[in-house]
C-alpha cells in the first residue's frame, strides 16, 4: 500500500489514482460544480470574476480548464494565465510573446553551440598543423 501526505491538506492517505486525499477530491469536485454552475448562468464571465464569485482559486480554475473539465467553447471571455508571464490566454501553456522569446533564445543558444563547436574544431586543426610543423622542423 502506497501511503503519502496529501499535498493540498497535509493529511496521510492511501494513494490511488489521484494525487490528493478523498476529502480533498470531494472538495475539488464541489469547487468544480460551483464553477460549472456559475458559468452556466454567466457565460460571459472572466476567470477573475469566476474566482471572485465562487471563491475558487485561479490556479484551480486553470487546472479545471487544462483537464478539460471546464470548456472554453461556451465561455467567450474565459481565459487563463500564461505560465511564464501571466498574460491571459485561451490555449496552450504560454502566450505568443513568450513562445517567440523562447524560440529566439533557443535559436541563439543553438548558434552559440555551433559557433563554439566550430571554434573547437578550428583550434584542434590549428594544433595539429602546429604539431606537424614542429615535427617537420619549420
Q: Which structural domain range is residue 133 located in?
A: 92-138
The last residue of a domain, from among 81, 100, 117 = 81
Q: How many CB atoms lie within 10 A of CB 8?
A: 15
- The tens digit of pLDDT for each residue in 36-70 reads 999 999 999 999 999 999 999 999 999 999 999 99
Cut 0.75: pTM above it: no
Q: Are residues 100 and 76 in the same domain?
A: no
Please identify, among 81, 103, 124, the residue that sits at the C-terminal boundary of a domain: 81
For residue 14, the 8-state DSSP code is E
The predicted pLDDT at position 42 comes to: 93
Give the model confidence (pLDDT) of 96-121 as tens digits.
Answer: 999 999 999 999 999 999 998 888 88
Whether 40 and 61 share a structural domain: yes
Residues 125, 131, 136, CA angle at the centre, nearest 5°?
125
Closest CA to 8 of 63, 81, 50: 63
Three cell numbers at 83?
505560465
How many domains is the chain built from? 2
Let me know whether 14 and 75 are in one domain: yes
Name the 3-class secondary structure at 7. coil
**Residue 122 reports pLDDT greater than 90:** no
Amino acid at each position: 500500500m502506497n501511503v503519502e501526505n496529501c499535498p493540498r491538506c497535509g493529511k496521510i492517505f492511501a494513494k490511488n489514482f489521484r494525487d490528493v486525499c478523498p476529502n480533498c477530491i470531494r472538495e475539488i469536485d464541489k469547487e468544480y460544480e460551483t464553477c460549472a454552475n456559475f458559468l452556466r448562468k454567466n457565460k460571459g464571465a472572466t476567470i477573475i470574476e469566476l474566482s471572485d464569485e465562487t471563491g475558487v482559486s485561479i490556479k484551480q480554475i486553470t487546472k479545471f480548464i487544462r483537464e478539460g473539465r471546464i470548456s472554453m467553447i461556451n465561455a467567450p471571455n474565459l481565459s487563463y494565465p500564461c505560465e511564464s508571464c501571466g498574460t491571459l490566454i485561451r490555449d496552450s501553456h504560454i502566450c505568443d510573446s513568450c513562445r517567440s522569446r523562447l524560440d529566439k533564445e533557443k535559436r541563439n543558444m543553438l548558434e552559440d553551440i555551433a559557433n563554439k563547436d566550430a571554434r573547437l574544431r578550428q583550434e584542434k586543426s590549428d594544433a595539429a598543423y602546429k604539431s606537424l610543423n614542429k615535427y617537420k622542423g619549420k
